[in-house]
Amino acid sequence: MTQLARAALLAALPFAASLARADEGMWTFDHFPSERVRQRYGFAPDPAWLDHVRAASARMAEGCSASFVSPTGLVVFNHHCAQDCIAQLSTARRDYLASGFWARTQREEVRCPELEIDRLDEIRDVTGEVAASTSGLSGPAWEEARRATVAGLEQACGGGDDRVRCEVVSLYHGGVHALYRYHRFQDTRLVFAPELAVASFGGDPDNFMFPRYDLDVAFVRVYEDGRPARTDEFLRWSSGGLEDGQLTFVSGNPGSTEREWTVAQLEYERDVALPERLLLLAEQRGQLTEFRERGPEERRIAADPLLELENSFKARRGMLEALLDRDFFAARVAAERALRAEVEADPNLREAAGAWDAIARALEEQRRIHRRLWWVGYERAFDSDLFRAAVQLLRGAEEREKENGARLAEYAEARLPELRAHLLARAPVHRELEILQLTFSLTAMREALGADDPFVRKVLGKRSPRELATRLVTRTRLGTDPAGLAERRRLWEGGRDTVDASRDPMMAIARLVDPEARAVRKHFEEEVESVMEESGERIARARFALHGTSDYPDATFTPRLSFGAVEGYLEEGRLVRPFTTVSGLFERATGREPFRLPASWLRARSRLDPSTALNFCTTNDIVGGNSGSPVVDQRGEIVGLAFDGNIQSLGGDYGFDPAVNRTVAVSSEAILAALEQVYGARRLVEELVPGRGGGRAPRGAARSSSP
Amino acid sequence: MTQLARAALLAALPFAASLARADEGMWTFDHFPSERVRQRYGFAPDPAWLDHVRAASARMAEGCSASFVSPTGLVVFNHHCAQDCIAQLSTARRDYLASGFWARTQREEVRCPELEIDRLDEIRDVTGEVAASTSGLSGPAWEEARRATVAGLEQACGGGDDRVRCEVVSLYHGGVHALYRYHRFQDTRLVFAPELAVASFGGDPDNFMFPRYDLDVAFVRVYEDGRPARTDEFLRWSSGGLEDGQLTFVSGNPGSTEREWTVAQLEYERDVALPERLLLLAEQRGQLTEFRERGPEERRIAADPLLELENSFKARRGMLEALLDRDFFAARVAAERALRAEVEADPNLREAAGAWDAIARALEEQRRIHRRLWWVGYERAFDSDLFRAAVQLLRGAEEREKENGARLAEYAEARLPELRAHLLARAPVHRELEILQLTFSLTAMREALGADDPFVRKVLGKRSPRELATRLVTRTRLGTDPAGLAERRRLWEGGRDTVDASRDPMMAIARLVDPEARAVRKHFEEEVESVMEESGERIARARFALHGTSDYPDATFTPRLSFGAVEGYLEEGRLVRPFTTVSGLFERATGREPFRLPASWLRARSRLDPSTALNFCTTNDIVGGNSGSPVVDQRGEIVGLAFDGNIQSLGGDYGFDPAVNRTVAVSSEAILAALEQVYGARRLVEELVPGRGGGRAPRGAARSSSP
């Protein structure tokens, strides 16, 4: 990772930065470095281009990116983004992860229980308002003032309309605050999804790898008032091919990066947070893998959580390896030293001078309490959807009695519509899986805090973790069956007295642990988090004063645009070419999971052009959250969908290495070929490329899997 | 861990060391610091005392310590040391881990398939011979010369007698070489073991914890020529109590410590070896935990491997945490700097000056190849007893054709008797578990090396890991049923041609992977291991020249004696008292695993003196391998059996913290009380304390569980 180290090192030198960083950057649309793109690639997106691409882009509230691809609400993103929905719509008799899904007619489009698509409609700078409200404060007072201001701004912006989502976003770690207003599409219906076997061909072994052969695509449609929503701004589908070296833009919502973190924060991540999390994920993975062997229904219900878990494990493992790279870490240390020297040399930046040490001290406290914070404060001891519903009902009642600004952040007025929708969604709950996960988390809590810890004793009493988990999950009436949802609605709407009167065992355990959970979290927020954020903002203001918006802010799961090009890379001395083809997919298939192609593809083989580009990689700078992002060419047409990064990109949270960090995408061309030749999805093709889908479906194209 | 850091820091200053280190040290019997013990405790063991304790001590070949406690071959150690044997003697109908085992008559004593007890009979210094043979050599030549010398010395010492085990031991990392001659007791029969539920009361949550409440004891008897062996040197059983502050000695075989490792070696351990291993263990633990839920027989057969795995996981996790402690690590860095300065200042020690950098360079290569070394070189991709048997048969045939000194170390002439005995032992093989473990390791190999790695492709072909594992395990004829053992014997005795002609699928896969496994291992031995050992010896000679035997050598699973005292400690400001009692055990019992007492104890409760000391902790310095060690008082009588260290002792591999590092032991008094009042094991009591076991068994004492 010497290249990565070098890049990070150069980043420490302010004047060399813009030259050295190549295609690095997750730029906000309002500070996009068009001139830099022109210098490198001979094309500069103008304001109209930028506005159009931004308006046609979207995000999935739970954490993916997407785009509109027709004027009647058609949205494209990744299969792995739609995976929860697909699993939720499946049953023991009809497994859409296995069979794929295709709504031949619009009437067959079926609503996803929890999938929300958000479109950004407005950004307003509120830096001054936030800064004024916290000026001169620190610690708990700072934390309270900021929370109240943010809640007030968001509430005023949304105005109680549950089709609007307003969020105050902190860019440059507080260097800038902006109020983002989104339009929420809550009625989102599944249109098309291929079989998991081809969407995630290669499974965990191929995840984060390139060359790659995945058809990681799904289409949904947003509805309003029971009809397809009008989406005038949408991206056109390119039916042309891509070329090596071609300029590409990725428009999406990178989740979070820590490129501006201090060394102390990186050390905490490397030595505490990542190892602890990885060990938990590894154990859960072993357990889920074995759970699947119990039988076909267990295999089905474990598929979605296992995919998510394995992805999380592999990603975090790559992040840990990046931080353990000694050259890389040394470069971060050097970069911090350089910035501190700049700050100390400038009398105007004095307020930032003590910030690094303040963060380091706060992290000492976090090291002391981190286990209790995780298991008690964040209630991770109770890994159960049913428990989380109980907590939301309990706290929902408690918090709604308070003034908006004084509530826990996730119960602020502007957040309630989403919370309520989630609570009342008809997503299936698999009780066997709930018992497995709750048993695991209770056992892990006992392991982390010790069998003699008073909290552990209070929770378990004389029961074993499995006994308690089984009892809670089987006896609670807070399921998502009609009776359970009715009870949830009764408790949500009934308020404090109704909730307090509930004898449901899940409500009872939520009540039992709530005071301590709140206390631990409050201690953390006051003694650790607020110190880190406040100090982080001081550093950010200093950095912003020195470099301004010539640099991009760390990712915040808000719309960003990156530029780059189709480009291979060197791996252990060997050139990795930037394209894979349909013929490569067939060659890689062994007939065994996770390299087993679905029957639809085996039948369609002769109809497909083997040379069609299937996946490609580019130098665009993306991270988790970008999944589903449209890759667009300079005409603003979709040439692919980003669905992954290569293994070398996993250090991307902490720094970008232009030599080997690559975005991995599925080509628009391959998607079109699959829709036409494998799935006979003419209606969809016609909507994407008007005039093209009119022909006859090929003989032998797959039958629809309508619900 | 500030105390630990301080201790290690002081250890860097040669003159302060003896004062600061308190009870630290795993001393060889021939350099025991009796005078230091007298100064601290007013008693100095004399040579006769030392000779007696050493001669009455023993070790279990697979990795535990033990002692003789009667003249007729009775041996005591821990239940967890006998656990493999107890599991191997169990069947679906008769589970001795659950029920315990007690041979009411000598005829009921039943042979453990693989348990070997070794008694050290002689030590000879061979430093000169080893040094002479490698003088002036380096790299592969050094490695070859040393291996040939060691093989020759061991072979000459054993002389083909399979009741003798000879091992060249490298003390002070090569500062001293000694030839150890052991008497091997291979016919070892189980006499008594309590139920696992009380032997490991508290299970994984209480493991490495104190206060503690375990009856972790088992008795076996060594036989020769079908009769109990004569063991004239044995330790007497103390029936008296222990007192706070009382002097204690622990005689045992600490497995290995890395207190003399360089900082580069510790970094490799912290950043690479431990994290990778822990992630594997965590995943396996999740898998085995869930495998147990399949049914009672799965629960039974998974019990023993799961206990072992959880122990290994918790121990390594503690080791990683010690290395991640920044103060502790900084102290090690300072200590190394101090030693290097001493070396550089002394012209006589010049040969050591470059050793640290040579080790660091070798570790760079190890970082590059470590995954391939683990999965291919050490064949960890094949976690299966059946596979290991196939490899031993294959390599046994190949290696025995070579000269003794040119063989892989584990096939040297002196090692063959043990290898053959192991191969032909009637230990059960659980095929379901074999498939589980082999599937896991094949999958993990694919994950580590990548699905496109040529070795991975050669092994898996188009098969999935589970498919290949199932095929190999179900089709091989190399099981441990009578037919399988006969086939193993035929292949072992038939030599190269017979082995080459075998079409057994496990032999076939062993043959397939053998060349690459050997090549990877050879590369590692020549480019990494030999450099580290040779350089380590240079440092060791320098350290030895500076400090001599006033310091103890790192642990080598050879007889050592430590001194200390019964003593509590402070934990988060709270005093942990050094004793627990029988009444505490009953109070802690919840009726749920792992805090469920067996019925025998619940029935015996009224007969037991609640104030009897059950477990205690001492300041003795021990590590893994010491399990089962007798804790003796100054009269040389057994007052307890060491079975664990507290959680603070887990950094003991890298340094000793006298403030909180504690040995955890079960008291001889409690063992006696249990034998008498819970198990009615009069025959055994009479043998331990002649004259005491004559009385009547109490009413209601447990019935025997004879085979």
pLDDT of residue A174: 82
Beta bridge partners of B123: B180
**Residue A550 CB coordination number (10 Å):** 12
Nearest chain B residue to A572 by CA: give it.
B368
Residues in CB range of B283: below 8 A, 6 or more apart: A282, A283, A285, A286, B440, B444
Question: How far apart are alpha carbons B213 and B124 in whole angstroms?
Answer: 41
Residue of A496, A443, A504 whose CA lies nearest to A477: A504
pLDDT of residue A8: 37
Question: How far apart are alpha carbons B338 and B61 in whole angstroms?
Answer: 38
Q: Is the pLDDT of residue B236 over 60?
A: yes
**A-interface mutation test, from B283, B439, B443, B571, most A Cβ less than 10 A away:** B283
Q: Is the pLDDT of residue B685 over 70?
A: yes
Average pLDDT over residues A222-241: 95
Arithmetic mean of pLDDT over chain B: 93
A160-164, A258-262, A515-519 — which one is most confidently predicted on average? A515-519
pLDDT of residue B173: 82
Q: Is the pLDDT of residue B647 over 90?
A: yes
Greater pLDDT, A701 or A433? A433
pLDDT of residue A13: 34
Q: For residue range A548-573, what is the model confidence (pLDDT) as tens digits?
A: 767 899 999 999 999 999 999 999 89
pLDDT of residue B515: 97
Question: How far apart are alpha carbons B85 and B322 in whole angstroms?
Answer: 33
Q: Is the pLDDT of residue A517 over 50?
A: yes
Question: Which residues in chain B touch residue A450, judged by CB atoms under 8 angstroms apart?
Answer: 205, 209
**Residue of A278, A464, A592 with shortest CB distance to B592:** A464
Question: Which residues in chain A touch residue B288, judged by CB atoms under 8 angstroms apart?
Answer: 286, 290
Contact at CB, A287 and B282, closer than 8 angstroms: no
**B-interface mutation test, from A200, A212, A290, most B Cβ less than 10 A away:** A290
pLDDT of residue B693: 72
Band of the pLDDT at B550, cuts 50, 70, 90?
A: confident
Q: Is the pLDDT of residue B347 over 50?
A: yes
**Residue of B206, B290, B320 with shortest CB distance to A290:** B290
**Which stretch of A109-123, B213-227, B278-292, B545-559 has the lowest confidence by average pLDDT?**
B545-559
Q: Is the pLDDT of residue A698 over 60?
A: no
Q: For residue range B180-213, what is the model confidence (pLDDT) as tens digits?
A: 999 999 999 999 999 999 999 999 999 999 999 9
Arithmetic mean of pLDDT over chain A: 92
The pTM assigned to this predicted structure is: 0.93
pLDDT of residue A504: 98
- The answer to whether the CB of A540 falls within 8 A of the CB of A260 is yes
Question: Which residues in chain B touch residue A282, judged by CB atoms under 8 angstroms apart?
Answer: 279-280, 282-283, 286
Q: Is the pLDDT of residue A707 over 70?
A: no
Q: For residue range B76-106, what is the model confidence (pLDDT) as tens digits?
A: 999 999 999 999 999 999 999 999 999 999 9
DSSP run (H or E) holding B621: none
Average pLDDT over residues B639-647: 97
- Rounded to 10 degrees, what is the CA torsion of A535, A540, A543, A548? -160
pLDDT of residue A106: 97
Q: What is the DSSP string of A325-349?
A: -HHHHHHHHHHHHHHHHHHHH-GGG
Question: Which residues in chain A touch residue B206, judged by CB atoms under 8 angstroms apart?
Answer: 451
Question: How far apart are alpha carbons B478 and B175 in whole angstroms?
Answer: 43
Question: How far apart are alpha carbons B154 and B124 in whole angstroms?
Answer: 11
- Rounded to 10 degrees, what is the CA torsion of A294, A295, A301, A303? 80
Residue A83 structure tokens: 């995976």
pLDDT of residue B143: 85
- The answer to whether the CB of A682 falls within 8 A of the CB of A693 is yes
pLDDT cut 90: percent of chain B above it? 86
Average pLDDT over residues B392-419: 94
Question: Which residues in chain B touch residue A284, judged by CB atoms under 8 angstroms apart?
Answer: 286
**Residue of B286, B289, B462 with shortest CB distance to A591:** B462
**Which stretch of A85-94, A169-178, A477-486 has the lowest confidence by average pLDDT?**
A169-178
Collect all residues from B whose CB is shorter than 8 A from any CB in A.
202, 204-206, 209, 271-272, 275, 278-280, 282-291, 294, 317, 320, 324, 436, 440, 446-447, 450-451, 462-464, 467, 590-593, 595
Contact at CB, A282 and B287, closer than 8 angstroms: no
- The answer to whether the CB of B356 falls within 8 A of the CB of B539 is yes
Contact at CB, B294 and A289, closer than 8 angstroms: no
**A-interface mutation test, from B201, B212, B213, B279, most A Cβ less than 10 A away:** B279
pLDDT cut 90: percent of chain A above it? 86
**Residue B23 CB coordination number (10 Å):** 23
Band of the pLDDT at A694, cuts 50, 70, 90?
A: low
Question: How far apart are alpha carbons B665 and B566 in whole angstroms?
Answer: 10
Q: For residue range A116-166, what is the model confidence (pLDDT) as tens digits?
A: 999 999 999 999 999 999 988 888 888 889 999 999 999 999 888 989 999
pLDDT of residue B475: 98
Residues in CB range of B548: below 8 A, 6 or more apart: none
Question: Which residues in chain B touch residue A592, judged by CB atoms under 8 angstroms apart?
Answer: 462-464, 467
Band of the pLDDT at B705, cuts 50, 70, 90?
A: very low
DSSP A379: -
Nearest chain A residue to B456 by CA: give it.
A205
Question: How far apart are alpha carbons B482 and B290 in whole angstroms?
Answer: 32
- The answer to whether the CB of A662 falls within 8 A of the CB of A649 is yes
Nearest chain A residue to B590 by CA: give it.
A462
pLDDT of residue B706: 41
Q: For residue range A326-383, what is the model confidence (pLDDT) as tens digits?
A: 999 999 999 999 999 999 999 999 889 999 999 999 999 999 999 999 999 999 999 9
**A-interface mutation test, from B1, B462, B592, most A Cβ less than 10 A away:** B592
- The answer to whether the CB of B510 falls within 8 A of the CB of B504 is no
Q: What are phi and psi of A137, to 5 degrees?
A: -95, 160
Residue A266 structure tokens: 């990186």
Beta bridge partners of B616: B579, B665
User: Which stretches of A593-674 are DSSP H helices?
Assistant: 599-604, 668-673
Q: How far is B205 from chain A (nearest CA, A)?
A: 6
Band of the pLDDT at B694, cuts 50, 70, 90?
A: low
